[in-house]
Amino acid sequence: MNNRNYIIVMFSVCMFVLQTGCLYADSAETREYEIKAAYLYNIMKFVQLPERKGTEGESKKQRIVRVGVTDKNVLMIFQGIIGNKEITQRTGRYRIEVEYVDVKQLADENRKPELDVLFIKDTARYDPRELLGACVKHGILTVGETQGFVESGGIVSFVIIKHKLRFEINVGVAEQAGIKIRSQLLKLAEKVIHKKMLP
């Protein structure tokens, strides 16, 4: 089995395990976000996030990866799928915490968000340049689902191709944010671009 097929199988198996107990979703939208949460969990295994300020003294076993969600309904789904789960990276094992984020706080210079990842349900509700620019500044991995998300300065975007969930990656913005994405993940992406955000 080649490396690409191995990773695809791994994604599928992990998604099934993560969704155990959630297979009887009460709506198609709930099911969609369960799958996106499972995808995000797997994506995070191949992403090296920058150290947040204040975490230097934490042991690797205690390090928490904080995932922010901009929609309270999606928040509950993400908490059920990936909340308190652990991920293993080259630098150690981390536990995931999922919390609601009011995006206004990201634009507030006086408040430094303690976030590693931000899932943005609908960028149309915000000023994408201001929001995504703040995330780059704070080293936050941005994940979205609206058309043109990675071209606008997002890092990972979920897209539907032939009725299947896929993802796109903007490596340029990831580098600006101090985030390293492993080549195995880039090989699985539907599209990879290297477009940086202009100051």
Tens digits of residue pLDDT in 29-82: 899 999 999 999 999 999 999 986 655 555 555 689 999 999 999 999 999 999
**Res 123 pLDDT > 70:** no
CA distance 69 to 71: 6
The phi and psi torsions of 112 (rounded to 5 degrees) equal: -100, 110
What are the residue ranges spanned by the domains of the chain? 3-193
Give the pTM. Answer: 0.84
Is 80 exceeded by the pLDDT of residue 89?
no
Would you say residue 23 has pLDDT above 80? no
Of 129 and 195, the structure prediction assigns the larger pLDDT to: 195
Q: What is the pLDDT of residues 6-19, one digit of tens each?
A: 455 455 545 544 44
**What helix, strand, coil percent values describe the chain, rounded to 5?**
35, 25, 40
| Token digits of residue 75 | 């928040």
First to last CA, the chain: 44
